[in-house]
């Protein structure tokens, strides 16, 4: 957070971001680990709009991952795990230590998981990994997500929804709903 | 009191002037004060033998105050405080626990937008909307498991236990074990348990 807030172009405090990352005007990205696990091969793999604060956020994109974030977003130490697609709207707030993942990382079937464990191991070099479930995560405008929450693959969170701290979100959330719990349930509506 | 450095600190910071530290207390790193901006005298108060370790962050606003009791052990909590967070004597707080006495941003989306438009111009880019804060009280001898969240206005009674990953939305009576998200009472600790170890 040492960077002056008045810069016009988007800035990563630790240097130049990967070439396929676009930061909008006055957007600030901090933390030396921000792109430590950024492996996407897409052109414009990560596009962040204007006036965003991405403080200590980890952009962990796999080779096929693509992520779009709107304007005036405010994320604190979020971990964004993206193997396919994550789309986040404008004025979205994500609290400390929240995780978003658009994949399960490993297959469900035990036999396939053995094959995956071998493929991922030091002796499995070059072996193809089995098919792994991935579904886009979509977070619409004005969503507030508290600290320590988890958003799983395939979830769409409707505009203006309020996700309480510590929620584990496994299903779509209607616009303006207030949700909490594990698994998260609707507890009301945003006034 | 002058700004103080810690000889063992990896972070080149100092203990803020208005933080009161008992001579027997231990602070692992001054990185914990990166977002500390309380203007009150005793914005954080360390009691006898109290300690905070790496990962503990005092995200304390100008009118916020945090109190750590005797031998209170805070092992990596995010303390988001605009009013008061008090942690009693002998309380044990695990890693990645969130203690928040405020939501920092308005619940109303159009008011929240206004604040989010102001944030990028600020030096530390922190939200400072006038959102009401409700103090949190962790009484003596409470134990909070890792990844738990304690929401605004909650009091956790003496000797109670909060299970890992719990989200506590309501007051917890003394000597009660709560767990779950949202947290629910599991059982009461009986008088024997209160005085002896199993």
Residue B114 clears pLDDT 70, i.e. is over it: yes
* Numbered residues of chain A with Cβ closer than 8 Å to any chain B Cβ: 1, 5-6, 26, 28, 51-53, 55, 72-74, 91, 93, 96-97, 142, 144, 146-148, 160, 162, 164-168, 180-182, 190-191
Residue A47 clears pLDDT 90, i.e. is over it: yes
A165/B167 CB distance under 8 A: yes
Residue B14 clears pLDDT 80, i.e. is over it: yes
**Average pLDDT of span B145-154:** 98
Question: Per residue in A115-133, pLDDT tens?
Answer: 999 999 999 988 999 999 9
Check if A58 is active-site.
no
B192 backbone dihedrals φ, ψ, rounded to 5°:
-65, -50
With beta carbons under 8 A apart, name residues in chain B contacting A166. 98, 147-149, 165-167, 181
Relative to beta strand A184-189, strand A177-181 is antiparallel
Give yes or no for a contact between B144 and B172, defined as CB atoms under 8 angstroms apart: no
pTM of this prediction exceeds 0.90: yes
Residues A52-78: b if buried by 16+ CB within 10 A, e if exposed: bbbbbbbbbbbebbbbbbbbbbbbbbb
B120/A28 CB distance under 8 A: yes
Residue A136 clears pLDDT 80, i.e. is over it: yes
Q: Tell me which of B109, B121, B146, B154 to substitute to probe the interface with A (most A C-beta atoms closer than 10 Å).
A: B109
């Amino acid at each position: 957070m040492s960077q002056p807030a008045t810069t016009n172009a988007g800035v990563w405090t630790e240097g130049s971001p990967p070439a396929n990352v676009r930061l909008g005007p006055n957007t600030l990205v901090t933390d030396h680990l921000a792109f430590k696990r950024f492996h996407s091969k897409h052109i414009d793999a990560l596009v962040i709009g204007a006036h965003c604060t991405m403080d200590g956020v980890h952009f962990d994109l796999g080779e096929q991952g693509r992520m779009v974030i709107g304007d005036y977003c405010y994320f604190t130490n979020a971990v964004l795990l993206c193997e396919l697609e994550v789309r986040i709207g404008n004025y979205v707030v994500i609290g400390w230590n929240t995780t978003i993942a658009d994949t399960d990382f490993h297959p469900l079937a035990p036999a396939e998981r053995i094959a995956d464990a071998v493929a991922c191991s030091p002796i499995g070099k070059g072996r193809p990994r089995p098919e792994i479930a991935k579904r886009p995560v979509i977070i619409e405008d004005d969503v507030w997500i508290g600290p320590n929450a988890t958003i799983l693959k395939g979830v769409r969170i409707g505009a203006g929804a309020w996700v309480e701290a510590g929620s584990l979100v496994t299903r779509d959330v209607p616009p303006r709903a207030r949700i909490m719990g594990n698994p998260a349930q609707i507890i009301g509506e945003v006034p | 009191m002058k700004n103080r450095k810690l000889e063992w600190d990896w972070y080149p910071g100092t203990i803020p002037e208005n933080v009161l530290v008992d001579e027997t207390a231990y602070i692992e790193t001054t990185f914990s004060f990166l977002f500390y901006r309380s203007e009150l005298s005793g914005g954080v108060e360390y009691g006898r033998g109290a300690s905070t370790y790496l990962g503990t962050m005092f995200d304390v606003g100008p009118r916020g105050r945090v109190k750590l009791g005797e031998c209170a052990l805070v092992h990596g909590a995010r303390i988001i405080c605009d009013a008061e967070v008090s942690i009693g004597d002998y309380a044990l707080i695990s890693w990645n626990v969130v203690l928040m006495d405020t939501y920092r941003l308005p619940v109303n989306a159009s008011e929240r937008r206004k604040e989010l438009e102001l944030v990028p111009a600020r030096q530390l880019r922190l939200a400072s909307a006038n959102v009401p804060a409700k103090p949190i009280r962790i009484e003596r001898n409470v134990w909070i498991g890792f990844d738990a969240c304690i929401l605004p206005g909650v009091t956790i009674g003496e000797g109670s236990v909060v299970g890992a990953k719990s989200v506590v939305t309501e007051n917890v009576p003394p000597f009660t074990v709560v767990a779950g998200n949202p947290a629910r009472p599991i059982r009461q600790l009986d008088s024997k348990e209160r005085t002896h170890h199993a």
